[in-house]
Amino acid sequence: MSLHTEKMIRYIINQRLNEKATLDYKVQEYSSGEKKDEVLKDTIAMLNSIEALMEDKYIILGVSDNKHLVGLKTDMRDDNEYQAIFNNINPRPFIETGTIEVEEKLVGYIYIKKENKEWPYEIGKDTDKYTSGTSFIRIGSTNSSMTQQQRDKITLRKYESNEAYHPLYLEIEKQNKIKNKVSYTDERMEGKGQFNPSLNNGVYTLGSGLN
């Protein structure tokens, strides 16, 4: 654990910050029965939070929903177990887990780093509860299934955050903002072509188009 991470966790607990897109409290560690699926759901939802993209996020174990520090009753499971679970997330994110002692009580944490920018994140392989491709999003302090509209929006944000993304995408984005329509008028492009249906909500004008 870096000094910055330790300071942030202590600050969150000492200030009794409210749950939000970047912060979730769990009164105890995930139980063995629900561990894999619930950890995946909570982690993916925070990774995909549109309102908190490119921000550090924390799941703190041993703090109740009303922000009361109770501490873990047993030692937290090894980081290797959690990393094996995170291998089920696609793309594979960078996540740190560990423990810290606060007010003589053991607290666990799952630290989701802001460097994770490969949105949207989703279930990479079938689990007991979820099928591959299932995704979640966190809005405020609530986790829910991700809609196609939300998936499209977060995909756009990914390309916006990458300075090297293709100029064509920039032009499409510009046209979307102006009139929500895209025209392809270059006669040299006649014939077959491939389109990404996530762009412009799947709406295109083919042929001579609009001038």
Buried b (16+ CB within 10 A) or exposed e, 115-147: ebeebbbbbbeebeebeeebbbbbbeeebeebe
Rounded CA separation 55/109 (Å): 16
Confidence grade of residue 191 (pLDDT, cut at 50, 70, 90): low
DSSP string, 141-209: TEEEEPPHHHHHHHHHHHHHT-TTS-HHHHHHHHHHHHHS--B---GGG-S-----TTGGGG--B-TT-
pLDDT digits (tens, 9 = 90+) for 105-150: 999 999 999 999 999 999 999 999 999 999 999 999 999 999 999 9
Name the residue with higher pLDDT: 188 or 4.
Answer: 4
Q: What pLDDT does 159 receive? A: 82
The token pair that represents 189 in the structure block = 């492009």
For 13-27, 96-110, 191-205, which range has the lowest pLDDT when averaged over its residues? 191-205
Q: Which of 193, 158, 137, 138 is nearest to 19 (CA)?
A: 138
Top-confidence residue, 120 or 177 = 120
Which residues pair with residue 60 across a beta bridge?
A: 25, 109
**Tell me, what's the pLDDT at 31?**
79
Q: Is the pLDDT reported for residue 61 higher than 70?
A: yes
User: What's residue 156's pLDDT?
Assistant: 87
